[in-house]
Amino acid sequence: MAKPEPAADTPGAGRGIGEVLQLLQDEFADVTISKIRFLEAEGLVTPARTASGYRKFSAADVERLRYVLTVQRDQYLPLKVIKEHLGAIDRGLRPAAAGPPVAPSSLPQTPGQPVAEDFGASGTELRLTRTELLAAADVQPEFLRELETHGLVVANGNHYGGDAIVVAQVAAELAAYGIEPRHLRAFRTAADREVGLIEQVTGPRRTGQTEELAALTVRLHTALVRARLPQA
């Protein structure tokens, strides 16, 4: 067995490879220092390096190694497929019990009044392929194309953000009432105007103030719609 590296010269910045080996050996008896180094050489994990060149593994690195070792043991997946799975996880998808990682079927919704945190980035932002978006939102390709035609769902390069799931799902529910995507362009226009108003105050960069203002504008919109609904 290869010898573990000596203690790194930046304490607290992560775990050395020997510590990582001890963490993993309880669950994976056959893992070795050489195996961890091999997985690094194959690009499945990329620990930081100290000024002296020693590896420092973060908690995320350890979990990544645990995922690789688990699917090798339980699903007998080749490294090429595991790399594809890791790439999907890096785009915000979640591991599945079997098969490739999957997109969430819906995003968490915050009850009550919207707050600034609802508009801030938290954790890994989803980057979905078209196929993944269709599966997560449970809509047909024709319906997604119609949403895109009217600017309600917009791809960033070859991927879609997590909000596209919500837009597609809500638009599909509205369609059940006879409200088609072409009827929803006013919502997109209103959203563009609200964002434009916010940017007049905060500038184009997203800040905590940007998120506060976004929450306030949505609260105002909700109150105005509620006030204009017919009384029971």
For the cut 70, the answer to whether the pLDDT of residue 91 exceeds it is yes
**More confident site: 1 or 206:** 206
| pLDDT tens, position by position, 114-142 | 777 777 765 557 899 999 999 999 999 99
Q: Of the candidates 140, 69, 70, 133, which has an alpha carbon nearest to the alpha carbon of residue 104?
A: 133
Domain annotation for the chain: domains and CATH numbers: 17-90 (1.10.1660.10), 116-228 (1.10.1660)
- The predicted structure's pLDDT at residue 213: 93
| pLDDT tens, position by position, 46-74 | 999 999 999 999 999 999 999 999 999 99
With vertex at residue 124, the alpha carbon angle to CA 118 and CA 130, rounded to the nearest 5 degrees, is: 95
Q: Of the candidates 157, 192, 156, 188, which has an alpha carbon nearest to the alpha carbon of residue 170?
A: 188
Long-range Cβ pairs for the range 170-174 (8 Å, 24+): 171/139, 171/143, 171/147, 172/137, 172/138, 172/139, 172/143
- Residues 130, 160 contacting (CB under 8 angstroms): yes
Q: Which residue has the tokens 């020693």?
A: 54
Q: Report how far residue 203's alpha carbon sits from residue 110's, in angstroms, rounded to the nearest whole number.
A: 27
Confidence band for 231, pLDDT divided at 50, 70 and 90: confident
Confidence band for 167, pLDDT divided at 50, 70 and 90: very high
Neighbours of 136 (CB within 10 A): 23
Tokens read off for 176: 């059940």
Q: Of the candidates 184, 178, 190, 186, which has an alpha carbon nearest to the alpha carbon of residue 146?
A: 184
- The predicted structure's pLDDT at residue 10: 46
Query: Mean pLDDT for the chain?
Result: 88
| pLDDT tens, position by position, 179-227 | 999 999 999 999 999 999 999 999 988 888 999 999 999 999 989 998 9
